[in-house]
Amino acid sequence: MIAYMPSYARSLAPAYLTFCNVVGGVISPLLANLFLHYAFDQWVERHWEDVQFERYADDIVCHCKTEREAIKLQSVLTDRFNGPLE
C-alpha cells in the first residue's frame, strides 16, 4: 500500500486541521468521496471518455484497452494529482 497526499492537498492541510477533522474521523470518508468525485470521476469522464472505471472509496480501477493506453493514463493521472486542479 502506498500512502499519498497530493501537493495541493498538503496546502489545504492547515485549514483542514483548523476544523478539527481528524484523519480517520467520521467525516473523512465523505470529504474524500466528494473530492474524488470532482477531481477524478468527472475529470476522467470528460477527458478519457473511452476508459471505464470503478471507484470504491479511494480505490480506483481503470479499464484500458491497451498497455500503452494504461501507461499514458497513469502518467496523466500522476501529473493531475501532483499539480493544481483545473
Q: pLDDT, tens digit, for every residue of 42-85?
A: 999 999 999 999 998 788 999 999 999 999 999 999 998 887 76
Spell out the residues 6+ positions from residue 67 whose beta carbon is closer than 8 angstroms to its own. Answer: none
Summarised one tens digit per residue, pLDDT across range 3-54 is 445 555 555 555 444 445 556 667 778 888 888 898 899 999 999 999 999 9
Is residue 77 within 8 Å of residue 58, measured between CB atoms?
Answer: no
pTM over 0.85: no
d(CA 50, CA 10): 31
Alpha-carbon distance 17 to 29, whole Å? 15
CA-to-CA separations, 44 to 15, 26, 27, 62, 84, in angstroms, rounded: 27, 27, 25, 10, 16
Phi, psi of 56 (to 5 degrees): -125, 110
